[in-house]
Amino acid sequence: MTRTVGDATYVGTRTLRVEDLRLLTGTGTYVDDVIRPGMLHACFVRSPMARARILGIDVSEASQLDGVHAVFVAQDLNPGVREQWYTLNGPDDPDTPRPPLAEGEVRFVGDPVAMVVADDRYIAEDAAELVVVDYDPLPPVVDYATALDSTESVHADRPGNLVGQLGGRPMADLEPVFENAPHVVSQTVYQQSHGPVPMETRGIVAEWAAAGGEMTIWAATQSPHEVRSFCARLLGIAEHRVRVVMRDTGGGFGQKVLPQREDMCVMLAATKLPAALKWIEDRQEHLLAAGQARHEHGEARMAFDDDGRILAATLDHVQDAGAYPTPSPVQSGVAVGMLFPGPYRIPEGTFSSRFVFSNTSGRVAYRGPWQYESMARETLLDTAARQLCLDPVELRRRNMLSRDELPTANFNGMPYDHISPRETFEQALKMLDYEAFRREQARAREQGRYLGVGTCTYVEPTAGATPFHATEGATIRIEPSGKVNVYVAGGSCGNSLETTVVQLTADALGAAIEDVSTVQGDTAVTPYGAGTGGSRSGPMTAGAIARTAGELRERILAIAAHKLEVPAEEVEFIRGRATSKRSGGAGLTLAEIADIAYYQVHALPPGVPAGLEASGRYHTPHLMIWANATHVCTCEVDVVTGEVTLLRYIVSEDCGPMINPSVVEGQIFGGTVQGIGGALYEHLAYDEDGNPVSTTFMDYLLPTATEVPVIEVGHVETPSPGPGGYKGVGEGGAIGSAPAVVNAVADALAPFGVRISRLPLTPSSIVGLLEEARARQAVTR
């Protein structure tokens, strides 16, 4: 029924993107490009304090400003909330608080306190400055790492600031192994708060039609259907009364998977206004309040035998949830511990994870949200190699899983299969010529130059089958002219989903690619779907398209066979043309077949329905589809200024067969550079009073073209058991890169005895590490 990869005409090729023509000419439609009649504009009044009681809010002066329509405070909007939960977590999962506007107390700098609605954003900002809020400051809980011991509570009903905790078997179980092991290595790495920071900030336009009780929303989102479900629940209206439209979204990386508090405010306020309401977050708001990620630490431990074989591993992990996480971090955060064993043979081990409130911006999802498992494990392995006087590559070779050991499961019971960690590891090292680099490094050290190499190998669950994510639908309509439209839920934020869907559909049908177009991102016309996230779009849409196109292809073949008067098995249908060897060159185009299906219904073979349209839904039988990769990075560290220059960057990955190599590589490149940013540049920093100090792009440093090396990609191909053998590839780049960079810097500075425990590795922090190491050695001497 479905065609195999071997039949592919378009899949596997570097098909140019269909999105590009509009995006290159400035004719895309992002949420800020949406204009509605009489549209009004919102601006939030945000807390300047990390924690304070709200004693009063005076909106009188702001309300009187010309051009201001309304100023809403918590009492105006919050009571409108009917139900508030995310489909991913379900209504019964213990959730964290999420009031639309701050009520009674502000809990981080940037907490929305009031919303001004005006004719334009300029006036809205003028009015926001006129809202007077009387704050009574309270002592903030700024540092999540000490929050569990604080007598102050971010949320009064959560004394001790613990959001939740999860773990494996008791740590005490492992103590005998650690006590008896010849070698035990442990370390704690504190990773700094940073985040997705898409180039397009958050934004939403909500238009309420009171008479019909209908809401139309244009949103920057990765999941239009989730925005719809969420809005329907929030307002207590039927799901089909809400329509959510997104055409182009300017990057998501996890930040845009779920609606947040400001989106709730806009939805609630729109029902009280005579026209559409637009809120476009500005960059400062984004860096204050769109959320943070990756802010965590953990004590990682491994026990080794005398041959450097790992006997056991544990991770005691703590993660910052901020004041208002989206969603509660517990369910997704447990992946850090579950994946901590990575691609290594580790007989036993365990983890514990705690999630902690603080008076800072809330935790959000960020591309490979469990990335800390790799950071903790891979940096520990390098430290262990130094302590055991083994080359880090040799240490890994002794412990890393290879294909012939599969299937297997890690010590947390995660079942691994269809992966190739050892193969990617060796491929990447070969691409580098590891031994040659070590020689070059030795020569450089003699000249007082400090080069380093770092690796990171990880395994990654993609296309996970949570109830929310386990199915995906596709509708294919072949129009009477033979032109094809394929409808999928969408949510593409640069994932090239339009292009890959068109490739998959053209191949699955046998149509010519220029005849295939796709419609995505409009809940009114597309099948329900969870959107982009969790590296799911490749396998899941491939499954949905295969199912739907397979049914249509059978009808196409039946119609052609009937018309050509040959058996259906003898019909070839390639590039939109049906032929048969027996029909002597006569053939039918897809247009002619469609014409029969729509206008010559009497000429259809028996049992074939009229029209050429089908819908199908794929339900994955796989709990997850594993992908894996190795990142290898070399760098030079200037020990005077502390500057790190990346020299070579190599990724060897296994995402199964590639639908479009350019798209795969683009995902890897982008993720990798986000990880480089996380290791070296990006920091959503707070001072000790809880004031954020990186709220502009002058201080929150995204890597630019000169900070990024050429990234070389190697592919290993192990087909997955899923549709087409595909695997997800969206997140991996952002998982493997930061640990590889940190290891490379640590390797470069190894002659100084530097120990890395805090990120990011800024030039000044590297100088600090060098000075610390020098002081330590002076004491030892």
610 vs 618: CA distance, rounded Å: 24
| 683 lies in the site for other proteins, by CB under 8 A | yes
670 vs 172: CA distance, rounded Å: 41
| 187 lies in the site for other proteins, by CB under 8 A | no
Return the residue matching tokens 């809020």: 133
Stretch 642-661 residues interacting with other proteins (CB under 8 A): 642-643
Binding residue (CB under 8 A) for other proteins from 698, 778, 779, 781:
698
Question: In whole angstroms, how close is the CB of 149 to other proteins at the nearest point?
Answer: 27
| 514 lies in the site for other proteins, by CB under 8 A | no
Stretch that binds other proteins, among 18-26, 411-419, 432-440, 617-625 (CB under 8 A): 18-26
Binding residue (CB under 8 A) for other proteins from 111, 200, 316, 382:
200
| 662 lies in the site for other proteins, by CB under 8 A | yes
Binding residue (CB under 8 A) for other proteins from 282, 299, 391, 689:
282
| 702 lies in the site for other proteins, by CB under 8 A | yes
∠448-453-456 over CA atoms, to 5°? 160
**Nearer to other proteins by C-beta: 329 or 692?**
692
Residues paired with 185 in a beta bridge: 302
Count other C-beta atoms under 10 Å from residue 110's C-beta. 25
By DSSP bridging, strand 613-619 and strand 471-478 are antiparallel
Stretch that binds other proteins, among 288-296, 532-540, 638-646, 716-724 (CB under 8 A): 638-646
| 773 lies in the site for other proteins, by CB under 8 A | no
| 199 lies in the site for other proteins, by CB under 8 A | yes
HEC letters along 257-271:
CCCCHHHHHHHHHHC
CB 558 within 8 A of CB 547: no
Measured N-to-C along each axis, helices 537-564 and 497-509 cross at an angle, to the nearest 10 degrees, of 30
**Nearer to other proteins by C-beta: 349 or 671?**
671
**Nearer to other proteins by C-beta: 4 or 704?**
704
Binding residue (CB under 8 A) for other proteins from 151, 447, 704, 780:
704
Return the residue matching tokens 């969420």: 230
Stretch 347-376 residues interacting with other proteins (CB under 8 A): none
| 32 lies in the site for other proteins, by CB under 8 A | yes
| 23 lies in the site for other proteins, by CB under 8 A | yes
Binding residue (CB under 8 A) for other proteins from 304, 370, 681, 726:
681
**Nearer to other proteins by C-beta: 328 or 496?**
496
Stretch that binds other proteins, among 69-77, 345-353, 469-477, 487-495 (CB under 8 A): 487-495
| 151 lies in the site for other proteins, by CB under 8 A | no
Kindly tell me the sign of the dihedral angle through the C-alpha atoms of 118, 121, 126, 132.
positive
Question: In whole angstroms, how close is the CB of 48 to other proteins at the nearest point?
Answer: 13
| 694 lies in the site for other proteins, by CB under 8 A | yes
| 183 lies in the site for other proteins, by CB under 8 A | no
Phi then psi for residue 575, to 5 deg, are 50, 40
Question: In whole angstroms, how close is the CB of 365 to other proteins at the nearest point?
Answer: 15
| 518 lies in the site for other proteins, by CB under 8 A | no
Q: How many residues bind other proteins (CB under 8 A)?
A: 84
CB 756 within 8 A of CB 772: no
Question: In whole angstroms, how close is the CB of 576 to other proteins at the nearest point?
Answer: 24
Stretch that binds other proteins, among 140-148, 389-397, 408-416, 688-696 (CB under 8 A): 688-696
Stretch 388-427 residues interacting with other proteins (CB under 8 A): none
Stretch that binds other proteins, among 14-22, 106-114, 451-459, 470-478 (CB under 8 A): 14-22
- DSSP secondary structure, 136-158, as one string: EE------HHHHTT-SS-SSTTS
CB 201 within 8 A of CB 283: yes
Question: In whole angstroms, how close is the CB of 432 to other proteins at the nearest point?
Answer: 18
733 vs 655: CA distance, rounded Å: 12
Compute the half-sphere exposure of residue 492: CA atoms within 13 Å on the CB side of its CA: 25
| 24 lies in the site for other proteins, by CB under 8 A | yes
Among 88, 92, 80, 684, residue whose Cα is nearest residue 327: 88
Compute the half-sphere exposure of residue 443: CA atoms within 13 Å on the CB side of its CA: 6
130 vs 59: CA distance, rounded Å: 7
**Nearer to other proteins by C-beta: 492 or 620?**
492
Among 591, 586, 582, 583, residue whose Cα is nearest residue 556: 591
| 688 lies in the site for other proteins, by CB under 8 A | no
**Nearer to other proteins by C-beta: 26 or 212?**
26
| 752 lies in the site for other proteins, by CB under 8 A | no
Question: In whole angstroms, how close is the CB of 598 to other proteins at the nearest point?
Answer: 31
Tokens of 174: 């492992």
Phi then psi for residue 468, to 5 deg, are -70, -35
Helix, strand, coil abundance in the chain, percent, nearest 5: 35, 25, 40
Contacts with other proteins, 204-243, as mask; x by CB under 8 A: ----------------------------------------
Question: In whole angstroms, how close is the CB of 174 to other proteins at the nearest point?
Answer: 39
| 184 lies in the site for other proteins, by CB under 8 A | no
CB 114 within 8 A of CB 45: yes
Question: In whole angstroms, how close is the CB of 46 to other proteins at the nearest point?
Answer: 13
Q: Where are the alpha helices (DSSP H) in 159-223?
A: 175-180
| 132 lies in the site for other proteins, by CB under 8 A | no
Tokens of 221: 């989102």
Binding residue (CB under 8 A) for other proteins from 72, 135, 230, 253:
253
Binding residue (CB under 8 A) for other proteins from 80, 550, 666, 753:
666
Return the residue matching tokens 């041959």: 307
Return the residue matching tokens 């680099």: 437
Stretch that binds other proteins, among 396-404, 463-471, 494-502, 513-521 (CB under 8 A): 494-502
Q: Which residues contact 41 (CB under 8 A, 6 or more apart)?
A: 117, 118, 119, 120, 121, 123, 124, 277, 278, 279, 280
Stretch that binds other proteins, among 90-98, 355-363, 571-579, 703-711 (CB under 8 A): 703-711
Stretch 110-129 residues interacting with other proteins (CB under 8 A): 119-123, 125-126, 129
Stretch 153-182 residues interacting with other proteins (CB under 8 A): none
Kindly tell me the sign of the dihedral angle through the C-alpha atoms of 666, 667, 673, 677.
positive
Q: What is the DSSP-derived secondary structure letter of residue 466?
A: -
**Nearer to other proteins by C-beta: 709 or 721?**
709
Phi then psi for residue 426, to 5 deg, are -65, -40
Question: In whole angstroms, how close is the CB of 518 to other proteins at the nearest point?
Answer: 16
Count other C-beta atoms under 10 Å from residue 519's C-beta. 16
Stretch 42-101 residues interacting with other proteins (CB under 8 A): 66-67
Question: In whole angstroms, how close is the CB of 649 to other proteins at the nearest point?
Answer: 9
| 28 lies in the site for other proteins, by CB under 8 A | yes
| 663 lies in the site for other proteins, by CB under 8 A | yes
466 vs 434: CA distance, rounded Å: 40
CB 645 within 8 A of CB 636: yes
Residues paired with 454 in a beta bridge: 633
Tokens of 503: 């490739």
**Nearer to other proteins by C-beta: 481 or 764?**
764
**Nearer to other proteins by C-beta: 436 or 640?**
640
**Nearer to other proteins by C-beta: 68 or 395?**
68
| 487 lies in the site for other proteins, by CB under 8 A | no
- DSSP secondary structure, 337-397, as one string: HHHTTTTB--SEEEEEEEEEE-SSPPB---SSTTTHHHHHHHHHHHHHHHHHT--HHHHHH
346 vs 362: CA distance, rounded Å: 34
Compute the half-sphere exposure of residue 246: CA atoms within 13 Å on the CB side of its CA: 30
